[in-house]
Structure 1
């Protein structure tokens, strides 16, 4: 049997986004969401996920915009700036992605 997966992005971004995702899931519109560990409403999303066990959760890895979980500093806002930060040794992608997972 084939199954269509409808995924919502940015779970954990804001409380309003979180509420919309859970509402859409409860209405049968979507089946999963990807959780941003560095989102402003991460803890709220985690609580909602616990209360909504039928919502499948994946990991939304973030390297542009928002704050680093490793350094607490803001990420670059443009992809080119990320490459410059990497070249200058100011961004440890491995450590950051491990922290987000």
Structure 2
């Protein structure tokens, strides 16, 4: 399955497929509408997923350049299921 290869190649087949079955379609507007979020008044952390096939690390680094802190994790795009313990440690450091 191409979606599994792109989003969670480092996850075993059964949990990856269970995760992907939860996906629902989004409208184009949901992905393209300008954000209505207020200006940020807090620090931000960007987590670069180094083995991401959906958004290569080099592209993530460009986005991360606007963050106050950058963390790295050796996982696919879906670190929540491919590296949950490592992700929890990083999130535990975020203040």
The structure that is helix-richer by fraction is 2
Answer whether TM exceeds 0.5 for this pair: no
Higher relative contact order (CA 8 A, sep 6+): 2
| Normalised TM-score (structure 1) | 0.29
| Normalised TM-score (structure 2) | 0.30
